[in-house]
Amino acid sequence: MMIHFHKKYFFAAIFLFLLLVFIAVFVRDSVIRPYGGDLLVVVFLYCLLKSFFRIPVKNAIFGVFLFAIAIEALQYLRIVNLLGLEGNNIATIILGSYFEWLDILFYALGALLVYVMELGRMRNLRTGEGSGT
């Protein structure tokens, strides 16, 4: 894994971060906030990782997916309560407050979305469509 700044991934990560903050602060529904956010957080973390590291696509996707599952496992263990942070809104938003199996499905869908997008990007690079020429 080599350190390398990639501005397209970085700007995508910034956009996704702002979108996730918007969803967390303003969206109060039972679909977009809980599940759309889970899907998008995987895409965000992938873009953030690829912003600073030259790492193979599959490794990055797998690592981000495992990280998301680890956070979900910490929710199962009620990590926010164990750390005494149940009154801290930021900690609750970042770490989550309760375990749900369906979240893992949406993490997997986010990872699959990233994989499909990267396949398309790589195909465009090979055919010259994404080269800017």
| Res. 60 pLDDT band, cuts 50 70 90 | very high
Distance of CA 59 to the CA centre of its chain: 14
> Of the ranges 36-40, 44-48, 83-87, 91-95, which is most confident?
44-48
Give the Cα separation of 103 and 100 in Å (integer): 6
Give the Cα separation of 31 and 38 in Å (integer): 10
CB 20 within 8 A of CB 41: yes
Q: Residue 133: what pLDDT?
A: 42
DSSP letter string, 36-70: IHHHHHHHHHHHHHHHHEE--HHHHHHHHHHHHHH
* Amino acid (one-letter) located at 105: L
Contacts of residue 60, defined as CB under 8 A and 6 or more positions apart, other chains included, come to 46, 49, 50, 53
pTM for this prediction: 0.87
Place of tokens 């990560």: 13
Residue 106: both structure tokens together: 């949406």
Predicted confidence (pLDDT) per residue in 1-57, tens digit: 689 999 999 999 999 999 999 998 899 998 898 899 999 999 999 999 999 999 999
